[in-house]
Amino acid sequence: MNYEKTRQWLDDHGVILEESFYTALNNLAKDYKKTNDLRLLEEVYQKLGG
């Protein structure tokens, strides 16, 4: 994967490189929670982590 494709993937998934990893992950988890009608962020992390 080249740099442009990597940047595009990050942009498509809402990852902003200026954000810390924790902030980016937390924002993605909140979006996932909303779109999948989950009540708690813990439910999101359980789905992602198995």
pLDDT tens sequence for the chain (50 residues): 577 887 788 888 888 778 787 888 888 889 999 999 999 988 988 887 75
Question: Could you write out the DSSP letters of every residue in 30-50?
Answer: HHHHHHTT-S-HHHHHHHHH-
DSSP state of 27: H
Distance CA 47, CA 17 (A): 24
At residue 1, the pLDDT reads 54
Q: Is the dihedral of CA 6, 28, 49, 36 positive or negative?
A: negative
Task: Give the number of residues written for the chain.
Answer: 50
pTM of the complete model: 0.56
